[in-house]
Structure 1
Amino acid sequence: MSDLDGLLATIPVGDIAKKLGVDEATAESAVKQILPALVGGMAANSTDEAGAKSLEKALGKHSGRSVSVADVDEADGEKIVNNVFGAKKREVVTAVAAKSEKADESLISKLLPILAPIVLAWLASQFFNKKEEAAAPATPAAKKESGGGGIGDLLGGLVGSKQGQDMLGGLLGGLLGGGKK
């Protein structure tokens, strides 16, 4: 299930709500607004070779990691967020908060470094499972049908799907289109 709903289903929203001292509805609303921004930022960064390699390296570090909020290293999460959004981080936080009915900039800022490692752990499981599947086709036809399996393909599939487009739906406008510049 490599879609945004699949990712959302793995997010421990109740634990996040407890950690941040908000109700579950507020936490869920904020998570739903942040996910497309985070995935979109990663997709934008993966459009060039250096960004894709950096992200694949990060996926390797997060492969097999727990998605438990108690296990999240927020300092690592902050590094991920800074790498994904660069100088546009404040603009992204503002844009996400503006689209959320329940979450303000303070909550979005606190949630990003918690959510980023969880998203990377999920992406790592999807990415490495796809690589294993792509390496195993038995027939020439199966080999032809399997894609390149790169991280850009996975993220592009998430962001480029109708669901991804609906979720992004102008949320960040041109903020993510140019990567971290």
Structure 2
Amino acid sequence: MSSPFDDLLGQIPIADIAKQVGVDPSVAESAISQILPSLVGGMASNAQDSDGAESLTKALAAHQGTLDSRKSVKNIDTADGDKIVSHVFGEKKNDVVKAVSSSNGVGKDIIEKILPIVAPIVLAWIANQFFGGNKKSTTTKSAPSGSGGGIGDLLGGLLGGGSGGGDLLGGLLGGLLGGKS
């Protein structure tokens, strides 16, 4: 039985990303496998308060239905990816990059190149999970005040179902993003 992270990883054009950043596909896959729980964990941290949950829900709505277009690296807006990464990690971005790179032996420069490519894919995939399907929804799920609600539950379930990145996530993000909104 595959985990949600396996499903998400399957949506990512690893070979294309490897070629674009100039690394072996196995190196790219290793880096991406560590990046995914970090991104999802950062989103979950942001969704712990009502403002963060509302902001994330709006971002998900904007990325809903775009997953299929993200199957090719050439269709990924890395400027959008940079914005997503900056919003998710805030001032802790460099700390997260450093921790992810030290956990898998991939250089910080490679992690910095991969993050803005992967972030829009992750957001589009989560949007599909949250809104159900690959079509734009006209209704938005709302989050109860003071918690992540539906989005918090989805991200928490995804984090609980991770493969390989959970240990890093607990140690890294617990300290880095604990109080960030």
Matched-pair contact (CA < 8 Å) for 1:95–1:172: no
Aligned to 2:24: 23
What is the CA-CA distance between 1:116 and the residue it aligns to?
A: 0.4
Matches within 5 A, 1:36-115: 36-65=37-66, 66-67=69-70, 68-101=72-105, 103-115=106-118
Which residue does the alignment assign to 1:153?
153
Secondary structure of the residue aligned to 2:176 is coil
- CA RMSD in angstroms comes to 2.3
Asked if the contact 2:44/2:152 (under 8 Å) is kept, the reply is yes
**Structure 1 residue runs without a partner (length 5+):** 136-147
Structure 1: distance between partners of 2:94 and 2:56: 21
Q: Which residue of 1 aligns with 2:125?
A: 122
Deviation, 1:167, is 5.5
Q: How far apart are the structure 1 equivalents of 2:54 and 2:3?
A: 20
Q: Which moved more, 1:159-168 or 1:52-61?
A: 159-168
Structure with the greater alpha carbon radius of gyration: 1
Gaps of 5+ in 2: 140-147
Contact conserved, 1:127 with 1:149, CA < 8 A, in 2?
Answer: no
TM-score normalised by the chain length of structure 1: 0.83
Supply the distance in 2 between the matched residues of 1:100 and 1:173 (Cα, whole angstroms): 18
What is the TM-score when the length of structure 2 is the normalising length?
A: 0.83
Percent identity (aligned)? 60
Task: Return the offset for 1:149.
Answer: 6.9
